[in-house]
Structure 1
């Protein structure tokens, strides 16, 4: 792999997992989709938000892949390879879901999830994301943003997917120009109507070289 700082994380201590998850909760403090899913704005003071990110990272460690750059993991990415997916029936994830306010939980499970799955199939084509590498979480702690760490993670993930000769899929609510500059192609856009706002999410794909 081309980046000397880029590495796969195979294990994290409880303290490391908590620290990284708290940093991610702060980094996502203004993310509208996280707000709609959780029923509150993420912060390092929210046990629910911290455990939400813990569940994503734990899923990557268990069934997918977790990558990081920089000292002390200031930037982290969770992805799943071809044929793999996040287990939303894990104890960690079920615990998080059970603590989300009822109205937000209903929205997440009965509106967002259904619309998201339809969106993914329309944007990429049937089974494309399942047969590709796809990112479920990318975050950079506040104090290390705008230093190129997110770009480095994405470029290295493109390299991982390229080695496997598959595409890399990613959906986000932010910075479309940023992803396009890295060679991702926008293939779809969807709007989710939550209780408080309309959230726009875009689907991107980076395809392997012919």
Structure 2
């Protein structure tokens, strides 16, 4: 049996390992329990259903990106254009690294995301909130012109989808992708500037 106390965090770590090994179609709660050295009932005490476990692991995975981006949004005071560019670049880099560094888990989460629409909606809402705050700051400082910062942030997010939507992951390996990202950012920043 396990010597460490069984926590939700340990279960989620083990679930990622199992998903990486078996993929979402074959991974089971019994596999997670086996990795932890506990009964599957112990896992169910923390997560009432397999769906709840899969949602929690998806949420955890997405929240890593949110945390990185929140650090930029709340970080040191810098001009709005630089903060916006830094936020967009961090979003792109985070997604690109997830796809390139751990392709099995990235593919697994692409499947899980389709199952967890509420989790994905919450993630997208958080990203929109962060982006809106950056645009609002830029408007307050006179660096951006936007009658409605939320609409402007939504337009920026939509215009940069190619650099953060997992559906575009195969394109992220193209040798021209960084130049394309820079061109899109430059265009958006020119459009937002006062």
TM class, shorter-length: under 0.3
Structure number with higher helix proportion: 2
Structure number with higher strand proportion: 1
TM-score with structure 2 setting the length? 0.26
TM-score with structure 1 setting the length? 0.25
